[in-house]
């Protein structure tokens, strides 16, 4: 390869016809890709010109499968829609069914739902921080975050019997009460997390390499975010105080105080800092929930759940997951199986639409960091 | 913004075409015929419903119609609005909402693949999730997923036979 | 064939040289880090210090060319199957395939789903299957121990099977991936007729047509 007199910019080379465009497959088989998803990037040098998303490798036909199973049996399928953060899906589906049934969920069940939601959020934010570190090449932090997430999975195993997919929420409440000493073990876990948070800050957020890589990457304004369907931490990072736990409270979030910290800025660094702010807020909310949880029954009496019949109608229920808005639109015709269940995942607007606006002009090194900053998690794109 | 005020605004702009209902629990819905649907969506977007959550399609096979539901949310008034429109089932088509909300394009692409609805003006309606799909759009009610899976992914269904040398016990039949 | 001394295709009984080689191969398996499905979330806990796969000589590897072990973590949609076959064929011999979870065994929870295949062993030779949905890290490590024993005993020879019965595997793969006809009943998209689409544009109310056209040019 020869170099012309002096170094010349990519544009001049392109104008002179020195560089040809080529196609690069970023993913699905790629360690920087978060999951089984691909972008086919048309590139010039190391700069992206055009992007074509290659989705569908995680497509399982959930919406069709859910029409063939009874209402309560769908709960075995539903946590699998989002792999790192399965509980918001269960809660959204159960809430939509409860809205159609018109049944009241007992208060203790609502608190237990919120506690498991917050624990799941912590686990998913650990993966978010770890994934961001991994995308920037910072593998020690990634491994540390995975280990810390395991402590949360231990608590889930004591409560529900399973580490990752809990199937804990049922229409009308939760499956079983917390065992003896479980709430104390969660409090001990929170003590451990709070003691470790300065370590996470030192590793990830006081690291000037992370700042240099993420500052100014893919900025987005608040108006553009709201009009592009962006929700969750990416929206709060633009300064918008929007959180479904406050805007449309569900479970026990109207019983405890929920603040909405926002990092302004709108670029990838602000989104990374937002993850950290959400993390700290989640720990605080968990402490308040554990302090305020009442006694009582843990599920409403709906008879034999295997033969549940839901009155005709439709309802939409949404929850705030660690990545954004998870919504379930449930249509019933009065039978034993749903007529239609339509799932809204938070990653599709960023993964399939914003990629066309942000990726052209970006260097290939930043694509993994861009994906992690928007928390694009492919299972809920493909469902 | 109370439901009554919004309902009055709708009647003022769209007359009888837009049918409003308050479903309770901060969920409203508006039904409109296909040709008034896009101006209605524009109207809602200009009156605080800036967030398009997603677009659902429901196959009402008994009524021979496919229903499109646009889910909108207002950050200002904290209300969820469902804009519904019905299309005929043999040739379901609709104008694209891509010019109002850019991220409607992938949702419409998915509905085209899964339900067979054609969106006029959508820049890209190529297959998104399925590989080399030659059958009916899979989310339609008359598509049997179980029969498809048993026929397409088992040896009997594929009409294939086990290999010739049977003495090799390791190869599955 | 010429490589029969070192690489015994016809016989399952291994030579003394292969015995020695297998002793070293089993202690240095590098797995291809391709997260094909939901089971992949239990891989980071298996790799990190709590359960620590690396003490067995296993570690993640980015490219298929340098990997020995292909983990199918969970279900396989048809699109993923195509990429997994490419990755498997790019790996060098000897190579091993481990199916995670119940989905590669019999379809698992997605057995009646239209995009997900039900039996992986029809398309790729599977050396070890781990039951569970999803398997815990302890189950994963136990399976890797068993795989190491099978490699030493000369039983984990899926790569030899693939070579010997390549036509059979290829035929199965093409039956799913290179389908030319519909499986249940053929579907004719009414909108593939451009005349119909043109007529719909023409019949549109004027204001929508203008707005669409002006934005189309913009």
Per the model's pLDDT, the better-predicted residue between A4 and A138 turns out to be A138
CA-to-CA dists, residue B149 to A34, A61, B80, B138, C116, angstroms: 28, 11, 37, 12, 8
Residue B169: both structure tokens together: 């016990």
Q: Is A28 on the interface with C (CB under 8 A)?
A: yes
pLDDT at C179 over 90: no
Determine whether the interchain pair A227/B101 forms a contact, defined as Cβ–Cβ distance below 8 Å. Answer: yes
What top-level class would CATH report for the domain A62-346? Answer: mainly alpha
Mean pLDDT of A65-72: 91
> What is the nearest CA distance from A144 to chain C, expressed in angstroms?
8
Determine whether the interchain pair A55/B146 forms a contact, defined as Cβ–Cβ distance below 8 Å. Answer: no
Contacts of the segment A362-367: beta carbons below 8 A, 24+ positions apart: A362/A47, A362/A48, A362/A217, A362/A218, A363/A46, A363/A47, A363/A48, A364/A24, A364/A26, A364/A41, A364/A43, A364/A46, A364/A47, A364/A48, A365/A46, A366/A213, A366/A217, A366/A218, A367/A26, A367/A32, A367/A39, A367/A41, A367/A48
Determine whether the interchain pair C42/A163 forms a contact, defined as Cβ–Cβ distance below 8 Å. Answer: yes
**Domain range annotation of chain A:** 10-54, 62-346
pLDDT at A22 over 70: yes
Q: Is A337 on the interface with C (CB under 8 A)?
A: no
Nearest CA in chain A to C86: A29
Determine whether the interchain pair C185/B135 forms a contact, defined as Cβ–Cβ distance below 8 Å. Answer: yes
Q: DSSP readout, A262-325?
A: ---S-SHHHHHHHHHHHHHHHHHHHHHHHHHPPPS-SB---S-GGG----SEEEEEEEE-SSSE
Residue A15: both structure tokens together: 């104008």
pLDDT at residue number C159: 87
CA-based nearest residue to C126, from C104, C141, C153: C104
**For chain C, which chains pass the contact test of at least 3 CB pairs under 8 Å?**
A, B
Q: Is B3 on the interface with A (CB under 8 A)?
A: no
Nearest CA in chain C to A61: C113
Average pLDDT, chain B: 85
Determine whether the interchain pair C64/A165 forms a contact, defined as Cβ–Cβ distance below 8 Å. Answer: no
Nearest CA in chain C to B91: C190
Order the strands of the A22-26 sheet from edge to edge.
A22-26, A38-44, A47-54
Q: Given the structure tokens 């075409």, which residue do they identify?
A: B17
Q: Which CATH architecture has domain B3-158?
A: 2-Layer Sandwich (3.30)
**Domain range annotation of chain C:** 2-177, 188-218
pLDDT at residue number B111: 93
- Tell me which fold the domain C2-177 belongs to: Rossmann fold (3.40.50)
Grade residue B23 by pLDDT with cuts at 50, 70 and 90. Answer: confident
Give C85-103 pLDDT, tens digit per residue. Answer: 999 999 988 899 999 888 8
Q: Is C206 on the interface with B (CB under 8 A)?
A: no
The alpha carbon of A258 is separated from its chain's Cα centroid by a whole number of angstroms, namely 19
Region of poorest pLDDT, from A6-10, A45-49, A348-352, B166-170: B166-170
Nearest CA in chain B to C165: B163
pLDDT at residue number B131: 86
Give A190-248 pLDDT, tens digit per residue. Answer: 999 999 999 999 988 888 888 888 888 889 999 999 989 899 899 999 988 989 999 88
> Which of A229, A326, A343 is most worth mutating to test chain B (most B CB atoms within 10 A of its CB)?
A229
Give C12-29 pLDDT, tens digit per residue. Answer: 567 788 888 888 888 888
Grade residue A8 by pLDDT with cuts at 50, 70 and 90. Answer: low
CB-facing half-sphere around the CA of A319: CA atoms within 13 A: 26
pLDDT at residue number C7: 46
How high is the ipTM of this complex? 0.89
Chain A residue numbers with beta carbons less than 8 Å from the beta carbon of C34 are: 28-29, 36
Determine whether the interchain pair B149/C204 forms a contact, defined as Cβ–Cβ distance below 8 Å. Answer: no
Chain C residue numbers with beta carbons less than 8 Å from the beta carbon of A31 are: 33, 60, 62
pLDDT at B168 over 50: no
């Amino acid at each position: 390869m020869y170099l012309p007199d002096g170094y010349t910019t990519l544009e001049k080379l392109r104008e002179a016809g020195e560089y040809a465009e080529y196609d690069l497959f970023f993913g699905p088989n790629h360690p920087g890709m978060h999951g089984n998803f691909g972008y086919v990037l048309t590139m010039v040098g190391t700069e992206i010109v055009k992007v074509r998303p290659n989705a569908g490798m995680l497509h399982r036909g959930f919406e069709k499968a859910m029409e063939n199973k009874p209402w309560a049996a769908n709960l075995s399928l539903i946590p699998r829609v989002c792999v790192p953060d399965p509980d918001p899906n269960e809660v959204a589906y159960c809430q939509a069914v409860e809205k159609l049934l018109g049944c009241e969920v007992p208060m203790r069940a609502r608190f237990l739902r919120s506690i498991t939601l917050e624990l799941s959020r912590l686990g998913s934010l650990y993966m978010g921080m770890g994934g961001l570190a991994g995308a920037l090449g910072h593998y020690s932090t990634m491994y540390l975050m995975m280990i810390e997430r395991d402590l949360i999975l231990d608590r889930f195993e004591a409560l529900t019997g399973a580490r990752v997919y809990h199937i804990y929420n049922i229409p009308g409440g939760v499956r079983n009460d917390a065992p003896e000493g479980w709430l104390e073990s969660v409090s001990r876990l929170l003590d451990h997390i709070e003691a470790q948070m300065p370590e996470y800050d030192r590793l990830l957020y006081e690291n000037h390499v992370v700042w240099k890589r993420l500052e100014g990457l893919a900025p987005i304004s608040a108006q553009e975010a709201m009009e592009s369907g962006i929700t969750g931490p990416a929206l709060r990072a633009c300064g918008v105080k929007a959180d479904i736990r406050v805007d449309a409270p569900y479970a026990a979030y109207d019983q405890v105080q929920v603040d909405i910290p926002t990092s302004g800025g709108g670029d990838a660094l602000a989104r990374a800092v937002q993850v950290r702010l959400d993390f700290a807020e989640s720990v605080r909310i968990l402490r308040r929930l554990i302090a305020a949880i009442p006694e009582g029954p843990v599920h409403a009496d709906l008879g034999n759940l295997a033969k549940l019949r839901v009155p005709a109608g439709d309802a939409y229920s949404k929850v705030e997951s660690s990545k954004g808005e998870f919504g379930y639109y449930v249509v019933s015709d009065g039978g034993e199986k749903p007529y239609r269940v339509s799932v809204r995942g938070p990653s599709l607007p960023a993964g399939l639409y914003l990629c066309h606006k942000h990726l052209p002009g970006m260097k290939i090194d930043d694509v993994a960091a861009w994906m992690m900053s928007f928390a694009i998690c492919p299972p809920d794109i493909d469902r | 913004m109370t439901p009554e005020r919004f309902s009055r605004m709708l009647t003022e702009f769209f007359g009888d075409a837009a049918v409003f209902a308050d479903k309770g629990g901060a969920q409203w819905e508006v039904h409109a015929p296909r040709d008034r649907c896009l101006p209605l969506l524009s109207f809602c977007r200009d009156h605080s419903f800036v967030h398009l959550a997603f677009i659902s399609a429901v196959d009402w096979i008994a009524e021979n119609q496919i229903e499109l539901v646009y889910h909108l949310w207002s950050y200002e008034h904290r209300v969820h609005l469902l804009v519904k429109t019905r299309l005929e089932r043999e040739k379901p088509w609709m104008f694209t909402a891509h010019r109002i909300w850019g991220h409607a394009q992938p949702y419409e692409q998915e509905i085209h693949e899964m339900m067979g609805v054609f969106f006029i003006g959508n820049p890209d309606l190529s297959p998104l999730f399925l590989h080399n799909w030659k059958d009916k759009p899979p989310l339609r009610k008359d598509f049997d997923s179980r029969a498809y899976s048993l026929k397409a992914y088992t040896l009997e269904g594929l009409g294939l036979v086990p290999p010739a040398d049977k003495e090799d016990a390791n190869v599955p039949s | 064939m010429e490589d029969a001394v070192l690489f015994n295709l016809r016989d399952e009984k291994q030579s003394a040289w292969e015995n020695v080689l297998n002793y070293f191969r089993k202690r240095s398996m590098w797995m291809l880090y391709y997260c094909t499905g939901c089971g992949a979330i239990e891989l980071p806990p298996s790799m990190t210090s709590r359960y620590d796969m690396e003490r067995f000589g296993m570690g993640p590897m980015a490219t298929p060319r340098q990997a020995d072990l292909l983990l199918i973590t969970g279900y396989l949609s048809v699109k993923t199957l195509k990429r997994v076959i490419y990755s498997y064929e790019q790996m060098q011999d000897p190579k091993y395939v481990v199916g995670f979870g119940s989905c590669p065994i019999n379809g698992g929870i997605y057995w009646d789903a239209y995009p997900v295949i039900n039996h992986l062993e029809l398309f790729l030779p599977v050396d070890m299957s781990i039951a569970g949905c999803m398997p815990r890290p302890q189950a994963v490590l136990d399976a890797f121990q068993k795989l190491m024993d099978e490699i030493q005993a000369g039983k984990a020879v899926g790569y030899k099977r693939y070579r010997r019965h390549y036509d059979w595997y290829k035929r199965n793969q093409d039956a799913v991936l290179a389908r030319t006809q519909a499986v249940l009943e053929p579907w004719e998209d009414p909108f593939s007729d451009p005349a119909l689409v043109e007529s719909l544009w023409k019949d549109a109310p004027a204001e929508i047509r203008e707005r669409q056209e002006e934005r189309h040019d913009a």
